[in-house]
Structure 1
Amino acid sequence: MESSLSLVLDEEGKISLTLFGGSNSEVDEYTIKNFASSEDVRKKYEKQINEFLLKNNNYVESVIKRTGKQFRGRIVILHTVEKDGQFLLKERRVLYKKNLIVAREAIKSKKVMNVVACIDTNGFVNPKMYEDLNIKIKKGKFQLTPFIKGLIRQEKYDTKSNLRNVRSWLNSNSKTYYEKLRLLSAGYEYARTLYKFLKTPDALYKEYLDSKVLPKASKPIKKDIIEPEEREFVLVDGVRYPIDDIPYDLDELTDLGVSIFDGNAR
């Protein structure tokens, strides 16, 4: 299915500017490898976007006048779906670099995964399903992937084991790798409205970047530090990873040129 990274002004997606086009996976791979946020997209395509906004200035001004707020459109992914013999434009949320980090954080929390279990096919949480989730778990009534089903039924949530097993789930045939990242991200963002202790995606991404630039010498030395040879490791596509680190490393994703989950490095 063809998709496009687009700047959209109206609700129907008819007033839009295509920035990058390709298959669903090609567009997702492009955004997650190249952009940290929508502002990065706007910077890269600044000239085209400014020309488009100028061309549609009357529409932009009408929105500003109606809402009383600044308006620059929204960066989304557009794709076409057929319904009752008609072709309609649908929107998908854009995946950015930070979504890899958000996905790892989502897997760590059973509360977040309970929310992920209630995401519908459009990437939104079904509130009624979420309210009934505990009842459905007790009765064993699921319409979920076996992986998520297993996670939310755990009495003692095993974070390390779940991080280790996530690779096989992401490689299953039920959904693509990027769709599952989108699912985890949507669940995490909704969970933040329920649990205030969860950090923002931007804060998680900043922590990730900070961890990459801090020199090792600046880290405090603890007597009970675990030596590298004593840590648990797992092999992913022939590469040895500490369990806490797999498999969400942006540098490795960029180096391989593809998802490090699919085993098809170029």
Structure 2
Amino acid sequence: MAVHSINPFLISLFFTFFVLSSHTLFSICTALESEVEDETPFTYVEGTGKGPREWGKINPDWQVCGRGKLQSPIDLLDQRVQVISNLGKLKRDYQPAKATVKNRGHDVTVTWKEDAGKININGTYFKLLQCHWHSPSEHTFNGTRYNLELHVIHQSSNRTTAVIGITYKYGRPDPFLAKLLSHISSIGKEEKDLGIVNPGDIKFGSRKYYRYIGSLTVPPCTEGVIWTIVKKVRTVSREQVHALRNVVHDGFEANARPTQQLEGRPILLYNPVVNRGS
């Protein structure tokens, strides 16, 4: 893994690119609403005419899925990563709030209906909107794909999207999913009230994270998304993963988009102790 010293100007330039890219973004709410149709027009199975390689041809609004140069997910390959210590720790300020759970057909989504807090990235605040799961994981680490990935979706006042990704391997149950499992197992097509859900129950487990600029991983594959992937791989039980797979529509039990070409994008790894020889 290459270790680089990146000055603050380069980091500022990196985030300026995020801001300049944001003018091309759809509203994340609009993008997510387009995914919740009862009969979803895309699938993850190649050879059906609706698989990931064909997403860009299904709908004119989805052309970026096939032509985009900032697509997600990607493989976080050690040789591509620039390790730095001055990117800054991920600042979360979450709070319990009313939430609902819904089977969107291609995934299970928890949406906060009240102010559930925010994250701070490079001085910009991003409001927490929702989270959902992909199985197996979409992002890979040196080609390794894990059993589950959680995406926590946030949006800034100028509608730039920031997603925190957390990957999981089989082991002990995930505490956040444990509190939701009975609701997930019994959801139908309608949105279900969860009462108060504390997003602080989502455990990160590591200060180290990867950051890069990418896209939504489902149609319309909107680009300009700020991705933060927690380096630590957490654990989830087989029962929890099976519950998420069992409730989605047929053909979406495995709902991970294949990794996309990097196209020369920088991948930063925040390591707060890199300058101490760690």
TM-score (norm 1): 0.24
Higher strand share: 2
Which structure has the bigger radius of gyration?
Answer: 1
The structure with higher relative contact order (CA 8 Å, sep 6+) is: 2
Between Structure 1 and Structure 2, the one with more helix by share is 1
